[in-house]
Amino acid sequence: MTRYILCLVLLVGSAAGCANAPSKSDVALDINGVQFSAADFEQSFKNSVYGRQNTPQSREKFLDVLIVRTLILKQAENQGLDRDPKFLADVERFWQQALINLAVERQSRQLAVDAKVSEQEIQDFYAARKDTDFSGKEFGAVYEQIKTLLLRDKQVRAVAAWSDSLINNARASVNKKMLGIIK
């Protein structure tokens, strides 16, 4: 558990990847027993702000940050902070939010692929707004703008319908009085 939390914190800070511990011959960096392979370092470097410039200087700066972060994390672990209830609650909230974000992102991508806008919808939208929103603009000049607007609207509605279906298919019991919502 301690190693997992250490890896999670390092990943969150984009300071280090935590795959399996490298074999002895693959260890490129050892900081008080926390070992990194060259591949771990490379992946973490690329995911960091320092990876935007792949220079020896940016790698050196990243290495300095990685060492300090690892030492601080190791000290926090030795002090038992990785078992602190507040820390564990924060990790759980982060985990939940990251998982929700991933689920919504994947569902949104799938729904975006499925969303289509017809030529008729674009023409109808233009016709309904040509004297107001598109006054003085030819259909061809605003075609892509309308198509994008309609597509985004369909995608937003599809995500809302998906979340509504989750709610409608859920089995939930709520006591609003106990939750302080009603008196």
pLDDT in tens, 146-158: 999 999 999 999 9
Q: What is the DSSP letter of 20?
A: S
Radius of gyration of the chain (CA): 25
Looking at residue 13, its pLDDT comes to: 42
Q: Measure the CA dihedral 18/24/27/31, to 10°.
A: 80
Tens of pLDDT, residues 10-51 = 444 433 444 467 777 789 999 999 999 999 999 999 999 999
Q: Are 40 and 18 in contact (CB under 8 A)?
A: yes
Q: How confident is the model at residue 120 (pLDDT cuts 50, 70, 90)?
A: very high
Q: For the chain, give the mean pLDDT.
A: 88
**pLDDT greater than 60 at residue 5:** no
Query: Would you say 32 and 74 are in contact if contact means Cβ atoms under 8 Å apart?
Result: yes
Say if CB 46 and CB 35 are below 8 A apart.
no
**Alpha-carbon dihedral of residues 124, 127, 132, 135, nearest 10 degrees?**
130
- Are 59 and 50 within 8 A, CB to CB? yes
